[in-house]
Every structure is written in C-alpha cells, then in structure tokens.
Amino acid sequence: MPSGSGILRHASCTIGPLGKEGHTMLHWAAVFFIIAIIAAIFGFGGIAASAAGVAKILFVVFLVLAGLSLLFGRRFVA
C-alpha cells in the first residue's frame, strides 16, 4: 500500500496521553487553583470560590480526557 493511503503506519505520528494539549489544560487548572489561593489569602471569598470551582472542573476534564486518551490512543503499527 502507498504510504499516503491514510493508514497510520508509524507510532511517532501519534500524540501521547499527556501531549501538548493535556499539559495546557492541566496548566490552566493549576493557574485557577493559584488564583483561588491568592484570592482567599486577601479575603476575596467569592472570587476564591469561583476560581476553585473552575480549577476543579478543568482538572476533572483533564483526568477524563487523559483516561480516554490512554484507552483509545493506542499506537497501531502495521
């Protein structure tokens, strides 16, 4: 079969479960967590609660996507 047939032939063509996209989401979860801690220190309870909520949601979404990537992101080498 020609190499341009659309079938994935090399494992190096795939992005791993913690590829660049995964680190970006985890980065934003950490940023919102730090914002929540700083806001709590300065007494901004509402902002701290909101930032902590966003950080929790992003972290859970990251975990789900990382798990799905591990399950379905297998490398198919012919």
DSSP string, 27-63: HHHHHHHHHHHHHHHTT-HHHHHHHHHHHHHHHHHHH
Number of domains present in the structure of the chain: 1
Residue 66 lies in a domain: yes
Predicted structure pTM score: 0.56
pLDDT reading at 72 higher than 80 = yes
**Would 6 be classed as within a structural domain?**
no
In a domain, 28, yes or no: yes
**Euclidean distance between the first and final Cα of the chain, in Å?**
11
pLDDT, position 60: 92
Inside any domain, residue 77: no
Q: Would you state the pLDDT for residue 6?
A: 46
The per-residue pLDDT for 56 is 92
Domain with 30 in it? 11-72
For residue range 15-61, list pLDDT tens digits in order.
444 445 456 778 888 888 899 999 888 888 888 898 999 999 999 99
Would the pLDDT of 70 be above 70?
Answer: yes
